[in-house]
A and B are shown apart, each in its own frame.
Chain A
Amino acid sequence: MSARLARVALWATGVLVAAWLVAPTLVVIPLSFTDKVSLTFPPTGWSTRWYANFFSDSAWMMALANSLLVGVLVAVVATVLGTAAAFGLSRWASRRGAAVANVFLLAPMIVPGIIVAIGVYAVFLKLQLAGSLAGFVAAHTVLALPFVVTSVTAALGTFDVRLETAAASLGAGRLATFRQVTLPLIMPGVVSGALFAFVTSFDEVVVSLFIQSPTLVTLPVQMYSSVTRETDPTLAAAATMILVLTTVLVTGGLALSARRNRAR
């Protein structure tokens, strides 16, 4: 009887914590379907007009296109660099050297975003990268890199290095071995790293606010300025779509990691 009570209490606590964690996020969903011209909660009537507004407003669409472009480029660049870094770290004979390098690679995950933003902004002004596509990709890549490194390092942890020795004995050079043996086997880690990299860039707001320009605004920046200028429920529609997209991508990434772990 008391065991059952304990179980009920445990479940209740779990549900409460989960609700506490996701409820603020879920509020935007009903908000986005409101029929009023302001963000009122709970909504008094339902409509999809804010979604229609999102897709017909050129400012929102430009911001979305920019975010997708930057996100995809960041995913590509961060995945290439992060995979190379993780591979190098795993083969570094000096374990201490690898540990130190790893701390530096993961630093962007720990350093407060606002500090990174100020530093990036100062340097980018000097290099005239502020507001440019290259600038956005470079800054977001720094932030996304730790996710790729972590994910690929985990994949390499379960990779049997002896397969590379076998490949060498069969006549494969180092590049051929990496392409034909190592990379296919760590691919789930690489793909989930790429998804995390895309999501990191796609919802990044602090650094983007600093380095934005009138010609290059990303979706989160557009949302931020929207919420400060007006209280247009298009914002909630955009937020809902970002929520769905990132949830799908992150779940996909986690599922890939889980599959990789099960495969061993």
Chain B
Amino acid sequence: MPVDRPEGGTAPTAKGARIDLRGMTKRFGASVAVDDCTLTVEPGEFMTFLGPSGSGKTTTLNMIAGFTDISAGGLEIDDLPVGGIPAHKRDIGVVFQHYALFPHMTVAQNIAFPLRQRKIPKAERQRMVAAALETVQLPDHAARYPGELSGGQQQRVALARAIVFSPRVLLMDEPLGALDRKLREFLQLEIKRIHREVGSTFVFVTHDQEEALILSDRIAVFNNAKIEQVGTAHELYERPATLFVARFLGESTILRGTARPDGAGSTLVGDGFAVRTAGRVEGGEGGTAALVVRPERLRLTTDDPAGIPSGTNAVPVTVVEEIYLGAARKLEVILPGGARGLVREQAGALSDLRVGDRATLCWHPDDGVLLPDDPTIERIFT
């Protein structure tokens, strides 16, 4: 949840800083790694950069940290341009995927490292190190060396080292990427708790959409060096702005066809179906469009098509796959044009359909998002 901020500037007492990316761009020779990114991270917010590898999210993080020069555009932290400030003077905490603990120092020495650079007296230092170890719940490991710790413990030490000097911004570059699933889920909750406790602005990079949904106040979806959309998990899931976002976050059924304005909405005519939707596609006069419908918005029925209320979309399909999930089941269906669709049925509301059955796929016209089609998308995801 974004922290409230008084109008017209950051309160100086806020524990987190505001980060403004203004058309930030990074070129490596002829290739563009980050293209004209504009984004504001609010003070105390938990912002996640989500995207496939090579989408520019880590490069953007490195520019904020000061590890990489900015080719064009600006970067401001609390209204202060920081583009020319070297990394070690930015006062930004960073947690790396590979931990980057100093192997020749004990855990306590590692955590004291940023304090020593800041000439903090020894007694004060020891107190702060102990407090940081308490925060990451490793109070008994101060005298150990990183090599003696497990991956999860090492990453918690790295986290303690990055927060011990109370940076107003904490950057995390796939910090859980090297850990197994169980540990990852546990540390996600830990990171969420630590974010609440320290109140700094967190920027978290991941390619794992589930992780992004669990952790973030808001998510910026990166693709192909650009930010596709910024929003809360709910906004991205329910109202994806592009087909890429719809495909990257969560599952969906995508119906492709030609969209024509129809009343307040549109009618999408595809191969073997014509469905109504509330949305309009910009410049979509007869243009190709894609309708995205989430699995839980779809319903399968074997009722007589005549019995389906008018105004509800109905498309004939064949069930080809059943995936049992305990609390729910997913049914994969073949649409008239040959494309695949996905329906989620909650336990307790299961139909008695089996693989091979024919059925009618129904949904309300409001329960879909009409987007301009992008034929290049399928190449990314298949």
Q: From residue 101 to 121 of chain B, which have CB atoms closer than 8 A to chain A?
A: 101-104, 113-114, 116-118
B273 contacts the other chain (Cβ, under 8 Å)? no
- Binary interface encoding of chain B residues 115-131 relative to chain A, with 1 for a CB under 8 A from any of its CBs, else 0: 01110000000000000
B161 with A170: CB separation less than 8 A = yes
B100 with A176: CB separation less than 8 A = no
B67 with A165: CB separation less than 8 A = yes
Q: How far does the alpha carbon of A45 sit from the alpha carbon of B358 in the complex, in Å?
A: 109
A52 contacts the other chain (Cβ, under 8 Å)? no
**Given A166-B94, A171-B165: A180 in contact with B113 (beta carbons within 8 A):** yes
B368 contacts the other chain (Cβ, under 8 Å)? no
**Given A166-B96, A169-B92, A172-B117: A185 in contact with B165 (beta carbons within 8 A):** no
Q: Across the A-B interface, how many residue pairs have beta carbons closer than 8 Å? A: 62
Q: Decide if the interface of chain A is mainly helix, strand, loop or mixed.
A: helix
**Given A165-B67, A166-B94, A180-B113: A172 in contact with B88 (beta carbons within 8 A):** yes
Q: How far does the alpha carbon of A171 sit from the alpha carbon of B113 in the complex, in Å?
A: 9
B98 partner, pick from A162, A169, A185, beta carbons under 8 A? A162
| Residue of B65, B86, B113 with most partner-chain A CB within 10 A | B113
A177 CB, min distance to chain B CBs, angstroms:
8
A169 with B104: CB separation less than 8 A = no
Chain B residue at minimum C-beta to C-beta distance from A162? B100
Hey, which chain B residues are within 8 Å of A181, CB to CB? 102
Q: How far does the alpha carbon of A184 sit from the alpha carbon of B102 in the complex, in Å?
A: 10
Q: How far does the alpha carbon of A167 sit from the alpha carbon of B89 in the complex, in Å?
A: 11
A169 with B94: CB separation less than 8 A = yes
Q: How far does the alpha carbon of A181 sit from the alpha carbon of B89 in the complex, in Å?
A: 18
A173 contacts the other chain (Cβ, under 8 Å)? yes
A168 contacts the other chain (Cβ, under 8 Å)? yes
**Given A162-B100, A165-B67: A173 in contact with B94 (beta carbons within 8 A):** no
State the A residues within 8 Å of B (CB): 160, 162-163, 165-173, 176-177, 180-181, 184-185
Besides A162-B98, A165-B96, A181-B102, 11 other A-B contacts (C-beta < 8 A):
A166-B100, A166-B102, A168-B66, A168-B86, A168-B87, A169-B66, A169-B94, A171-B114, A172-B117, A177-B88, A185-B103
A/B interface sample: 12 pairs, CB < 8 A: A163-B100, A163-B102, A168-B66, A168-B67, A169-B66, A170-B113, A170-B165, A171-B89, A172-B113, A176-B117, A185-B103, A185-B104
**Among all A-B residue pairs, the 6 with the closest Cβ atoms:** A166-B100, A171-B117, A169-B94, A170-B114, A168-B87, A168-B88
State the B residues within 8 Å of A (CB): 65-67, 86-89, 91-94, 96, 98, 100-104, 113-114, 116-118, 161-162, 165
